[in-house]
Structure 1
Amino acid sequence: MPRGGRSSSRDRFPRSVFGHGSEPDPRFSLANERTFLAGLRTALALTAAGVALEALALPLQPQLRLAASLLLIVLGVLTPVLAWRGWARDERAMRTGAALPAPGIVSVLSVGVTLAGLLVLLGILWR
């Protein structure tokens, strides 16, 4: 560790991100981190919604309720992985001066939540 107790960016985890380029404006890195944390909150909400949907045994068609519940839980498990990948890609792009990549998590969450909502709607209609 260099003098002053500060580590270089190449010593930080993950090296696949911090081992490239130069430090971007801290405001952008912090905004990227906040976006990642929002993804974690979203994952928690999706998981809780999936568990609650099945645990409360709402008067829905049982197979559709289970399918919606499982879909929400799977999205809740997948979201932190996609959020981490997005954070790393964006941080690496900022460090190397490349254009920011398109967000991959948005389409997955949009389609998944829409499908879960449709399953719940069908479960209400076909009970």
Structure 2
Amino acid sequence: MTTAEPENTAEPDNTAEPEPDYRFTLANERTFLAWLRTALGLVAGGVAVHQLVPGWSVPGARTALAALALALATVLAAASYPRWRRVQRAMRRGEPLPSSPLVPVLAVGVLVITLFAAVLVLVG
């Protein structure tokens, strides 16, 4: 009488996967850190707008602009590690690199923040 082996549903161990060229691993890490630097820059910008920019004629404008920058920073910081991990896994498995939704999110987010700031500056 044989017993069935329990099915392992956990994520496979990376020890069986070949290590990618270290240059690609380091490039992936630099990209991850660039996403984090961008998020930190947005945090600094949001705090600076809220604390240092004199009030505009539109009530709550500073808070809204700061909140937009902080919201985009939160999205980038939260999504950067899973992106790094997906790319690292694809490199180890020799698969095509996954596309990233972060690029259009960042582009649209910065565009929205910039347009909102421009309107506030023009309105005064």
TM-score, structure 1 normalization = 0.79
Question: Quick one: distance in 1 between partners of 2:86 and 2:13?
Answer: 8
Q: What amino acid does structure 1 have at the position aligned with 2:34?
A: A
Separation in 1, partners of 2:77, 2:113:
19
Alpha carbons 1:65, 1:123 under 8 Å: kept: no
Cα shift at 1:64 = 2.9
Aligned length: 113
Whole-angstrom CA distance in 2 between matches of 1:62 and 1:16? 53
4, 17, 31: which one pairs with 1:21?
17
Give SS of 1:69's match.
helix
Q: Which residue in the other structure is 2:121 paired with?
A: 124
Identity over the aligned pairs, expressed in percent?
Answer: 42
Q: Which has the larger radius of gyration?
A: 2
CA drift at 1:22: 1.8
Letter of the 1:113 counterpart: V
Alignment of 1:1-127 (within 5 A): 18=14, 21-60=17-56, 61-127=58-124
Show structure 2 runs of 5+ residues with no match.
1-10
Q: If the length of structure 2 is used for normalisation, what is the TM-score?
A: 0.81
Residue 17 of structure 1: CA displacement?
8.2
Q: Which runs of 4+ in 1 moved over 3 A?
A: 15-20
CA distance in 2, matches of 1:110, 1:17: 35
Distance 2:107 2:82 in 1: 17
- CA distance in 2 between partners of 1:64 and 1:16 (Å): 49
* RMSD (CA atoms): 1.9
Distance apart, 1:82 and its partner CA: 1.4
Q: Report how far residue 65 of structure 1 moved.
A: 2.6
Does the aligned pair in 2 maintain the 1:50–1:72 contact within 8 Å?
yes
Give the superposition deviation at 1:83. 1.2
Provide structure 1 residue ranges, at least 5 long, that are not aligned to the other structure: 1-14
How far apart, CA to CA, are the structure 2 residues paired with 1:27 and 1:34?
10
